[in-house]
Structure 1
Amino acid sequence: MKILVPVDGSSASVNAVKKAIEIAKKYGFSIKLISVVDVSAMPKYRRNDKLWGQVDGSIIGHGARMPEMDEVLIGFKENAAKILDAVEADLDFQGVKVEKRVLVGAPYEEILETARNEKFDLIVMGNRGFSKIKRFFVGSVAQKVISEATCPVLVIHSDASF
């Protein structure tokens, strides 16, 4: 039996990992921790051409150049891997088989695809706690996963205590 746990470094996702460990130890599950680099959050630009986008609140254009996409992506992937390593180092996975992987794409799509393709039995994930207004406009990764997952989804809130 396998548990998939998306991790973004938030307190809700760390609480989800804690709950997944608890379940895994009790029922003999393995855990796969994933962190998804959200490419939709990256500035839009074309290689070797003018950039039109927004980075850190400032408008870029008129011949300004950004670092190559590969360099930006590598930095985001390295940061995601550090988050997974920190979670693994900080929590007690003793007796639980754990795997880590960094993915690139839209978070909810990557979570759903991984769960489906690798036949996970359970997804345990955090709820970032968006306000109702923000959730209406941007949606919630957890809501999208719940509505489309082919396996059960357990959502853990950031204020849950373990």
Structure 2
Amino acid sequence: MNTIQNILVAYDGSEESQRALDYAVNFAYENEKIVLHLITVYQPAFSIAYTYANYPVEQANYELKEKNEEMIQNVKTDLSFKTNLSIVAKAIEGYPGNVLTHYASMNSIDLIVIGSRGLSGVKELFLGSVSHHVVQKAECPVLVIK
């Protein structure tokens, strides 16, 4: 069996993503050589949503980026006080399912840990749309936490 060296944790601030993070940290705690890749993905603001409010899309996208980068860096800082694990924390723009699977394939991720549902509020029969996409498209094992 291959040893796990890189774990991607999908984090969006939801309760389920926090449970996924807690699980991954506990799992990795046994082997401090594991690198946690803490990734949050935000979708860009679309012009139609901001046209009527007279709010520039570029400004909305900048604010989304800043908000998500601040959130993920705060989570990284909190974890750094609790553990000696190596942590990579990134906020990435795009469709979450695609970004997570692409990031995993480009960064030698051995395991993806993701909540079964996130903040979207959209519910499918069994899994959220992002976790469903990741399970279907990822090239590595995926652990879905509920």
Shorter-chain-normalised TM-score: which range?
0.7 to 0.9
Answer whether contact 1:127 1:142 (CA < 8 A) is retained. yes
Aligned to 1:31: 36
- Unaligned segments of structure 1, at least 5 residues: 46-52, 158-162
- Aligned equivalents of 2:98 and 2:123: distance in 1? 20
Letter matched to residue 71 of structure 2: I
Give the TM-score, by structure 2 length: 0.82
Q: How does 1:10-159 map to 2 (within 5 A)?
A: 10-27=14-31, 28-39=33-44, 42-43=45-46, 45=47, 53-54=48-49, 60=52, 65-67=54-56, 69-91=57-79, 93-128=82-117, 134-135=123-124, 140-157=129-146
Query: Secondary structure at the residue paired with 2:30?
Result: helix
1:21-71 alpha-carbon deviations (Å, 9 max, x no partner)? 1111113311011111112xx23x3xxxxxxx346xxx82xxx6322x321
Asked which structure has the greater CA Rg, the reply is: 1
The CA RMSD measured in Å over matched residues stands at 2.2
TM-score, normalisation: structure 1? 0.74
| Structure 1 residues 144 and 29: alpha-carbon distance in aligned structure 2, compared to 1, 3 A threshold | same
Task: Tell me if the contact between 1:21 and 1:93 (Cα under 8 Å) persists in the aligned partners.
Answer: no
For 2:90 and 2:17, how far apart are their aligned partners in 1? 15
Contact persistence 2:12–2:118 (CA under 8 A): no
| Secondary structure of the corresponding residue to residue 103 of structure 1 | strand
Conserved 8 A contact 1:23-1:29:
no
Match for residue 2 of structure 1 among 6, 12, 21? 6
Cα separation, partners in 2 of 1:31 and 1:93, compared to 1, 3 Å: farther
The Cα shift of 1:5 comes to 0.8
Stretches of structure 2 that go unaligned for 5 or more consecutive residues are: none
Q: Evaluate the alpha carbon distance shift between residue 93 and residue 99 of structure 1 in structure 2; reply closer, same or farther with a 3 A threshold.
A: farther
- Alpha-carbon offset, residue 103 of structure 1: 0.6
> What is the CA–CA distance in structure 2 between the aligned matches of 1:153 and 1:78, rounded to whole Å?
28
Q: Which 4+ stretches in 1 moved above 3 angstroms?
A: 89-93
SS at match of 1:135: coil
Cα distance, 1:116–1:145 mapped onto 2, change above 3 Å: same
**Distance (Å, rounded) in 2 between the aligned partners of 1:129 and 1:74:** 22
Which residue identity lines up with residue 30 of structure 2 in the other structure?
Answer: K
Post-superposition offset of 1:84:
1.1
Query: CA offset at residue 127 of structure 1?
Result: 1.6
- Number of corresponding residues: 136
